[in-house]
Amino acid sequence: MILFPSKKYKLQLCFDDYFVYLKAEAFLADSSIKKYEEIAGNIIKMFGKELDVRRVNNKKIWELKESLNERGLSETRKNHHLVVIRNLLKFLQKEKGLNVMSYKKITKFKVRRKPVEYLTEEEITELIDSINTKTFSGKRLKALILSLLSTGSRISALVSLNIEDIDKEEVAQVRIKGGKIDSIIFSRKAMIAIEEYVGERRKRGDKTNYLFSTFGKNPKRWNPKDINRCFKGFAKKVGFKKRFYPHLLRKTAANLLYKKGASLSVVQKFLTHSSPSVTQNFYLGDISFEEVKRMHRKVF
């Protein structure tokens, strides 16, 4: 088949259009779009910005996979590249009506399942009790930890909230993956900690509406990367042995719900997952025989 050259088929321009579309439709958080743009840059370097997207076929995808293997990336990181090229082809096909390779033909690398990390109730208590809540930073950290535990929210969604976004029923609306809006629930403990933290901010002259803000004369919204560093530093300071990071609290919240008797479908809805397999494989892990016995005695 003869392919007549056209600018609209150039890989670089196709990616440019794709990111304009993503930002306009607000399907993804800004942080996710930045990651996609970084990966798109890698793909463009591998294929060349002048590549005609109609020439993306099975052979080209095999070449991409081979190149990713040679770079020694993890299966998850390699799959991020495949997801980006799949999404580009889907956009070109469905939104621009171009005749390109079906995105459905691109298969991802198999990811080895790792044991699901989460905190026990004893470890949660140990961490909370280790926080010096007499300090401003301690009040903020406690409010954040309790908020992450009670909402099960992703850190990016939680820190995007303003104070007034939490209603009288202690529920807030957040934008989740795919640009959808979903509800998260704050516990009474979390709200008390938030009220103490915000009260301290107001005493210090912080009039911003961010739910979680930085210190200083000109407070800004607290950045997830800075929060990750804060968690790591806190765990090291108090001698906590496990790796401590914000997403660990999302996994912990899911496990707490499940082990207290919530069904898989309830946990799936709590985490706003579209597939129960994601909830089971990456947040709950394998169910032990002890848990089977516990539920058996409870039911029978």
The domain spans of the chain are 7-105, 121-299
pLDDT value at residue 296? 62
Residue 54: its pLDDT value, please? 92
Q: What is the dotted CATH code of the domain comprising 7-105?
A: 1.10.150
* pLDDT given at position 222: 96
**pLDDT of 104:** 93
Which amino acid, residue 229?
R
CATH architecture of 121-299: Orthogonal Bundle (1.10)
Tens of pLDDT, residue by residue over 87-97, are: 999 999 999 99
> Cα separation of 11 and 50, whole Å?
6
Which long-range CB contacts under 8 A does 162-165 form with residues at least 24 apart?
A: 162/209, 162/210, 162/211, 163/198, 163/209, 163/210, 163/211, 164/209, 165/211
- How far apart, in whole angstroms, are the C-alpha atoms of residue 211 and residue 28? 21
Model confidence pTM above 0.75? no
HEC assignment per residue over the chain: CCCCCCHHHEHHHHHHHHHHHHHHHCCCCHHHHHHHHHHHHHHHHHHCCCCEHHHCCHHHHHHHHHHHHHCCCCHHHHHHHHHHHHHHHHHHHHCCCCCCCCHHHCCCCCCCCCCCCCCCHHHHHHHHHHCCCCCHHHHHHHHHHHHHHHHCCCHHHHHCCEHHHCCCCCEEEEECHHHCEEEEECCHHHHHHHHHHHHHHHHCCCCCCECCECCCCCCCECCHHHHHHHHHHHHHHHCCCCCCCHHHHHHHHHHHHHHCCCCHHHHHHHHCCCCHHHHHHHHHCCCCHHHHHHHHHHHC
Q: To the nearest 10°, the Cα dihedral for 279, 280, 281, 287? A: 150
pLDDT at 119: 95
Judge whether 255 and 283 are in contact, CB under 8 Å.
Answer: yes
Using alpha carbons only, how large is the chain's radius of gyration in Å?
Answer: 23
Q: How is residue 64 written in tokens?
A: 């991409």
Q: Are 91 and 109 in contact (CB under 8 A)?
A: no
Q: Which residues of the chain have pLDDT under 50?
A: 1-2
